[in-house]
Structure 1
Amino acid sequence: MFSESMRRKLFYNTIMSQCFSSDGSCLLAGSLYGNVAIYEIAKILRPLRSENELRRPSYHIEAHPDSHVDSMVSTENFLVTGSIGEICGWDWKSVTTGKAERSKVSWTIRVPAENDSYEGPCVFSLAYCKVNNLLYAGCNDGKIYVFNLEDGKVVTTLEGHTRFIHDLSLLDCGTQLASGSEDGTVRLWDLRKKENTNVLTPHLVDNLHRPSLGEWIGAVDFTEDWLLCGGGSKLSLWHMRTMQPATVFDLPDHGIHVAKIYEERIIAAGLAPHVYHLTYQGEMLSSIPTSSDTIYSVVYQETPQKLFSIGGASNFLDICTNCNYRELTLRFA
């Protein structure tokens, strides 16, 4: 149970990151106050016994008690969390059982710090490639650190951004990486050559730039054919071959923090109390109202249970089992 002081904090809670367990049985959410909530999906989807019953987590982990859980990713054996100066791994066998509240971190990687920095950079985004067991960490020092999870050592560091890296996207084959930064650029990386191959600057495109919101890129996703990005600049879809914008999305947002290419649709969210589902051409398919005025995280899985989870600047997660409406709401605590 949380202390009274923590309960007061949760009134102002923010869900920073989410992921699913490797077997798809659990949903996990990381908070501004360093806690991870674990929800057993089979339980949260059961019918409520009464209208007053609240769906809460089965367990909690105090992952980063003095910081926040800025990023999160799932590997076959571990929940991986990123915070200020460190990346931690938590064994799924303990996380997804009744031992979760007593579970101890399995391993910790210290992120390299500058000479004048005591804490080390904040890990804003994580991406994992199971093909080679490499973990990519986008940090607020503008660098992407590549770790080998066999020994926790830095394989290489990708440099080019000049400010915070807000988001990373990795192709399944692990050959290309995209990164979006506070510096207003999206960079594409050839991971075989370990070099930057393209730089996009959406704010320099007249119909994308929103001067009142700034140049920053808050979210990026890509496939072999398309690249999606947004932030202070409008959400836009780019041709990978020509590196030119194909669609500019007209959304009532004040900044984009989530941009996903999902099947044949686009999912977007940010500083607005909705998650938007759109066609590649910009047609609105659905606008799902949310418990948070600002959305920082949207995750989804297809099996064993199709599920979308939406988290942001509140103590609640919104759950959808299709792309058209919100089915239920979970409390973080």
Structure 2
Amino acid sequence: MLTKDFYNTILSQTFSPCGNYLVVGDIYGELSIFHLSKIVEAEALLSKDDLTPKNRFTVKGDYQVNSLLTLPNHLLVGGVGEIFAYCWKAIKTTKKPQLAWSIEIPEQKDDIGKTDVVALQFDEDKNLIYAACGDNVYIFHLETRKLLKTLSNHTDYLHCITKFGNDLLSSGEDGTVNIWDLRTYKVSNKIEPHVNESVARPELGKWIGALSANEDYVLCGGGPRLSLWHYRFLSTSTVFPLDDKGIHVAEIYKEKILAGGISKLFYQMSFVGEIVSEIPVSAVTTYSAIHQDEPFKVLSLAGSSSKIAICSNFLYKNQQLSLS
């Protein structure tokens, strides 16, 4: 088990609805639950037990946990070929919570095995779940758990999706950012960063590993450099001068840009590319960065390591959690 944890990789994280718990999913199909209240206390004297999970349980053996999504009453777990749901009440009170329900992902054409559920998004207004799986985005109704629509326009498998307003943005190995109009389920616009000379890094490939959007900008990066694009004109606004070998995490957060990937550092920057902070990380690759403001302000960074960096002010690492 010690060897297993030493070589572990954390692909996904989420906070509980109350914000008191951090849940991480790893490549061995396990969920680890940390209690945050003591961890984030500035003056707390913490023991090793305080910095390790309060509970761990296996979702499905030999299948990695690719994505996590917090709903008001349930935790959704994106595995391989299936989305699993657990009640938050059971997660908080039971060592081995029972599965509440699941959604099976349709088998894709020419797919030898079951497809990974790499990203999940929730539309609270319409009660819909968006799931990026293989080269399709599937839309399920939460209440009935029935498939509503399949969005098919990518030529290779997806890495990320993000929703803003009536648009859903998707991207992956084919290097294209598709902007879907959810009123028509059609691609209304697209961005291809790898064809832009100021952004392209042919030696790293054309894949896009991270996406974020607000009303003014689309942020994306992967093999191509992390870059900010005008939402309306689809032209580059900022190309970020980072020392990375691939971007897996990128987010527009308030008036700042958060980003990480294959790098020894996790970055916070301004919209014009000025670096605000550089946080050293133990993982060779950062795959997940999540944050919350209430009840505790915390940024949690995880990736190709059993260690998790906890930052209370988004400027430097305050604590380091471990799976063992």
TM-score interval (norm. to shorter): over 0.9
C-alpha distance 57-204 of structure 1, shift in aligned 2 (>3 A): same
- Structure 1: which 5+ runs fail to align? 1-5
Counterpart residue number, 1:25 = 20
Distance 2:36 2:304 in 1: 22
Residue in 2 that maps onto 1:3: none
Task: Tell whether the 8 Å contact from 2:38 to 2:50 is kept in structure 1 after alignment.
Answer: no
Matched, 1:7 2:2: yes
Partner of 1:112: helix, strand, or coil?
coil
TM-score w.r.t. length of structure 2: 0.96
CA contact (8 A) 1:163 1:183 kept: yes
After superposition, the C-alpha distances for 1:139-191 in whole angstroms (9 at most, x for unaligned) are 12x100001111111100011011111011112x4x21111111001111111
Q: Which residue of 2 aligns with 1:108?
A: 102
Q: Is the 8 A contact 1:21 1:74 kept in 2?
A: yes
Q: What secondary structure, in the 3-state scheme, does the structure 2 residue paired with 1:102 have?
A: coil
1:125 partnered with 2:119: yes
What does residue 51 of structure 2 align with? 55
Structure 2 CA distance, aligned partners of 1:54 and 1:115? Answer: 47
User: For this pair of structures, how many residues does the alignment match?
Assistant: 323
Q: For 1:34 and 1:322, locate their aligned partners in 2 and report how far apart those are by CA, in whole Å.
A: 31
The alignment partner of 2:51 has SS state of: coil
Q: Is the contact between residue 84 and residue 119 of structure 1 (CA under 8 Å) also seen in structure 2?
A: no
Is 1:74 matched up with 2:67?
no
Alpha-carbon offset, residue 50 of structure 1 = 6.0
Aligned-pair distance for 1:23? 1.5
Which deviations, in whole Å up to 9, do the C-alpha atoms of 1:195-232 show, x marking residues without a partner? Answer: 11111100000011101100000000001111000000
Query: Which aligned pairs between 1:199-210 and structure 2 lie closer than 5 A?
Result: 199-210=190-201
**Distance in 1 between residues matched to 2:225 and 2:62, nearest whole Å:** 35
Q: What is the DSSP-based 3-state SS (H/G/I as helix, E as strand, rest coil) of the residue aligned with 1:42?
A: helix
Matched, 1:146 2:139: yes
- Distance in 1 separating the partners of 2:139 and 2:70: 16
2:186 partner letter: E
- 1:88-99 equivalences under 5 Å are 88-97=84-93, 99=94
Letter of the structure 2 residue corresponding to residue 35 of structure 1: E
The alignment-based identity, stated in percent, is 39
Output the TM-score relative to the length of structure 1: 0.94
Structure-2 change in CA distance of 1:156 and 1:322 (3 Å): same
Selected match of 1:170 from 163, 166, 189: 163
Please state how far the C-alpha of 1:53 moved relative to its aligned partner. Answer: 6.1
SS at match of 2:89: helix
